[in-house]
Chain A
């Protein structure tokens, strides 16, 4: 069941509408039942796998909690992490590895077909595996006690608003909310509905419209030259952001209808003035997860190696971010590019800061140039994220570079003729206008949220203005929403 489908709207209307009628003592079970019902609309078989993975984590976390020796605790942790990673490896990566082996050294092509087909059914496995691993590790690190109630842990893992693409909430944050379920405050329901509406707008009006020229260029890169690859590269960065932050808003908003607060996943990432700042603002729950459970243990282990330890920890962490998206060389490249960015940025951080402190003019300039440079670095890396193959990505970047140079030369000679190159982007003036207006509306809301002023501004706004804005968003979705909405990009991870 897609978040953008009418079935989902009907599902939410029924399950959220019936929620207040459910006795408070039964609400945890209610959330568990509707979460598994939602998951079963994707796959009944893989609902069983999710239940087994939850049981494994529940039992092993209990063993860690009751073990008397450090050796036994560590053994349960190791068994838990390996057992939880195995299904993810089997369904997400084994197909590609066996396909690669059968292509190169011969083998069993059926295995790659079976595992690749299975991954389509194992929806959400990349997200709930991380949730379960962090739960077991948190118990091992004594950050929290093992969960006493299996149904609570199962609800945490399967919670349907977060199952398709996060945000990746930590166990303690979710379990503490579910342990004290109270009647949902009307204000929370209202803010949830507002956020859902905003998410649908981002996805259906902006992201899907941006996706049209992006798909054209990235699916057939050799049919385009000139400025088209440049435009498509920038549009994809905006598409990815609006698509992913759109589904996140729908997820956080839906969770609020049941009284559950979820963590933030984005904080105006394209205004980041350094690449480190970008990763503090982009896909925040994945970045902080990897920061705590991969980077920190690695960096602590390698801290005696000096700068080499730092470089290696960053490289492995960013490779993990790339590979988490899937077994493709383009994702590996995406991770390695960001590893390079981060290593360069980290090693020069102190010198850059001192230079900016000494030169006030440069410092003022940096407030504009910093975000621009960072945004362009991110756009270039996203070409690898979106391209089908590495050679497509290199071709698009080469064409983009040539296209920019060609445009500069032609403009210097006072002509725009031939600037766009070959190929025609399927976009008209109305599309450009709708996307620009949509992005402007979005960014006003995001900036108010970033500065912590959103609730103050909406609170001070007269009711008729707020309701006019909601109706405008609703009408925009009905009139300009792409008819055949595409799947959210991050659901396939």
Chain B
């Protein structure tokens, strides 16, 4: 799966978790860009991504994610 495919699937997970069809991802996007992206919804997002991509993240990886670009790179590294 290439980065564009990861990005597309990740975008649909974001829209599902935050229940907002207008969300458009960009690499520099952070929790500050989505009002409801708090620590509670962050883990909901992680669980949804783990289920969709069939990968597992550690707490360290989850807490160290700085933005969407890093999230895409992390998923890509897990899939490779």
Binding site for B on A (CB under 8 A): 140-143, 276, 280, 288, 291-292, 295-297, 299-301, 303, 314, 346, 350, 353-354
Rounded to whole angstroms, the CA-CA distance of A295 and B39 in the bound complex is 8
B46 on the A face (CB < 8 A): yes
Residue of B nearest to A293 (CB): B63
Of all A-B residue pairs in the complex, the 3 with the closest CB atoms, nearest first, are A291-B39, A299-B43, A300-B59
In the complex, B19 has a CB within 8 A of chain A: yes
Indicate whether B38 reaches chain A with its CB closer than 8 angstroms.
Answer: yes
Question: Are A296 and B62 in contact, with the CB atoms below 8 A?
Answer: yes
Which residues of B47-71 are within 8 A (CB) of A?
47, 50, 57-60, 62-64
Q: Distance in Å from the Cβ of B29 to the closest Cβ of chain A?
A: 18
Complex: A234 Cα to B38 Cα, angstroms? 28
Kindly identify which residue among A141, A296, A314, A353 contacts B19, using a CB–CB cutoff of 8 Å: A353
Interface: B28 (CB within 8 A): no
Taking the nearest CB of chain B, how far is it from the CB of A73, in angstroms? 11
Instruction: Other than A276-B38, A280-B38, A296-B42, give 15 A-B pairs with Cβ distance below 8 A.
Output: A140-B60, A141-B60, A141-B63, A142-B60, A142-B64, A143-B63, A143-B64, A291-B39, A296-B62, A296-B63, A299-B40, A303-B43, A303-B50, A350-B19, A354-B19
CA separation between A350 and B50, bound complex, in Å? Answer: 21
Are A276 and B40 closer than 8 Å at their CB atoms?
yes
- CB<8 Å pairs between A and B, sample of 17: A141-B59, A142-B60, A143-B63, A143-B64, A276-B36, A280-B38, A291-B39, A291-B40, A295-B39, A296-B39, A296-B43, A297-B59, A299-B40, A300-B46, A300-B57, A300-B62, A314-B40
CA–CA, A143 to B19, complex, Å?
31
- Give the size category of B's interface with A: 10 to 19
Q: Which residues of B contact A291 (CB under 8 A)?
A: 38-40
Contacts of B36 in A (CB 8 A): 276
B3 nearest CB across to chain A (Å): 24
For the complex, what is the distance from the CA of A350 to the CA of B59, rounded to whole Å?
26
Q: How far is the CA of A224 from the CA of B67 in the complex (A)?
A: 54
A303 touches B46 (CB 8 A): yes
CB neighbours (8 Å) of A280 from chain B are 38
CA distance A299 to B39 in the complex (A): 10
Bound-complex Cα distance A354 to B64 (A): 32
CB neighbours of A295 from chain B (8 A)? 39-40
- Give the residue among A295, A299, A353 with the most B Cβ atoms within 10 A: A299
Q: How far is the CB of B61 from chain A (nearest CB, A)?
A: 9
Q: In the complex, how many angstroms separate the beta carbon of B19 from the nearest chain A beta carbon?
A: 6
Give Cα A314 to B47, complex, Å.
16
List chain B residues, Cβ under 8 A from A141: 59-60, 63-64
A350 to chain B: which residues have CB within 8 Å? 19
A471 to B36 alpha-carbon distance, docked (Å): 40
Q: How far is the CB of B52 from chain A (nearest CB, A)?
A: 14
Minimum distance in angstroms from B42 CB to a CB of chain A: 7
CB-nearest residue of chain A to B42: A296
CA distance A303 to B39 in the complex (A): 13
Residues of A within 8 A of B38 (CB): 276, 280, 291
> Looking across the interface, which residue of chain A has its beta carbon closest to that of B50?
A303
Contacts of A300 in B (CB 8 A): 43, 46, 57-59, 62
A residues near B43, Cβ cutoff 8 Å: 296, 299-300, 303
Q: How far is the CA of A291 from the CA of B43 in the complex (A)?
A: 11
- In the complex, chain A residues whose CB is within 8 Å of the CB of B62: 296, 300
Most B CB contacts (10 A, CB to CB) among A140, A141, A276 go to A141
Task: Give the CA-CA distance A222 to B59 in the complex, in Å.
Answer: 50
Query: B39 and A292: CB pair below 8 A?
Result: yes
* Minimum distance in angstroms from A185 CB to a CB of chain B: 25
Closest to A280 in B: B38
Q: Which residues of B contact A288 (CB under 8 A)?
A: 39
